[in-house]
Amino acid sequence: MKQVASLRYGVIFKKAFSQPDVFKAFVKAVLGIELDIDKVETEKSFKPTVGYVDSRFDLFAQDDKNRIIVDIQHAQNAEHYDRFLHYHCVALLEQIAKAKNYCPALKVFTIVVLTSGDRYQKDVLTIDFDPKDLQGNGINEIPHKVLYLCPKYVNDDTPKAYREWLDAIQDTLDEEVDESHYHDAMIQKTFTAIEKDGITPTERAAMFEEYNSREFLDKTIVETTLETKLAIAKKMLAAGMAIESIVQMTNLSLDDITELNNLYKLP
């Protein structure tokens, strides 16, 4: 058994998957694409910003030879579907410089890894932008795609090509892995990169800060009064957050949130 840092922490996830060969192997398993890259950027952002939000990509790689951008996002929040769809669109819109051509020069693929589970309990969900006829047949005109992967719900129907990767990610969450169960050399390299003995003081501090932030938020939501929860929910609604996400974060009922939304005529 190998003692490792958990991939639920952003700093550890980036440490593992910012290795170009690991990044490429994971992308090939998930998308079937061979990337030609020699670096993976972390906390990537565009200047000037696209829209009103300064979006930062956890892991970002651009393959100019094959005209592909791939970003891998590590998710812990309850509004990941909208958030990472926004990030995906930012990577598309950033390429459009003039109205004469609305076709991005590079294909964009976004992979979101949900290490905390998800209310829908699906192993793989996709957003495919290709136009389709009424029979569901695509025309292969728009290649861009978003994938949401949840290791917690891997099952026998999960595509074999990347089942081992998702199992490996899930296996790290209790900070101990049996590396003999995994045959992919890049998965082994991932485990080596996040061995506990190799975690730096700076990385440990970031893990501790992330842990405390999450624990504080969970404790705050549980211990607050109904009145306070409703006030928090009202602010979330005013900010445009999805009702389902508010239900999950505040532990209020769907009826409570819907009634609050109707009462204040929030959008």
One DSSP character per residue, 130-159 reads S-B-TT--B-S----EEEEE-GGG--TTS-
Residue 265, pLDDT above cutoff 70: no
The two most distant CA atoms of the chain are separated, in Å, by 58
The arithmetic mean of pLDDT across residues 26-52, rounded, is 94
Question: Which of 203, 244, 266, 259 shows the shortest CA–CA distance to 77?
Answer: 244
Domain that holds residue 254: 224-262
Residue 59, pLDDT above cutoff 70: yes
Establish if 207 belongs to a structural domain: no
Establish if 114 belongs to a structural domain: yes
- Same domain for 60 and 138: yes
Establish if 172 belongs to a structural domain: yes
Give pLDDT, residue 54: 86
Residue 79, pLDDT above cutoff 80: no
Give pLDDT, residue 233: 81
Q: Residue 105 and residue 109: Cα distance in Å, rounded?
A: 13
- Same domain for 195 and 76: yes
The arithmetic mean of pLDDT across residues 6-22, rounded, is 95
Q: What is the DSSP-derived secondary structure letter of residue 177?
A: E
The arithmetic mean of pLDDT across residues 151-173, rounded, is 95
Establish if 249 belongs to a structural domain: yes
The arithmetic mean of pLDDT across residues 2-21, rounded, is 95
3-state SS, residue 118? coil
Establish if 212 belongs to a structural domain: no
Give pLDDT, residue 118: 84
Residue 204, pLDDT above cutoff 60: yes
pTM: 0.80
Q: Residue 62 and residue 249: Cα distance in Å, rounded?
A: 35
The arithmetic mean of pLDDT across residues 63-67, rounded, is 95
Q: What is the mean pLDDT of the chain?
A: 88
- Same domain for 160 and 116: yes
- Same domain for 104 and 16: yes
- Same domain for 177 and 140: yes
Q: Say which residue, 61 or 97, is predicted with more confidence.
A: 61
3-state SS, residue 194? coil
Establish if 215 belongs to a structural domain: no
Give per-residue burial for 16-39: e unless 16+ CB within 10 Å, then b.
Answer: bbbbeebbbbbbebbbeeebebee
Residue 221, pLDDT above cutoff 60: no
- Same domain for 236 and 172: no
Specify the number of domains making up the chain. 2
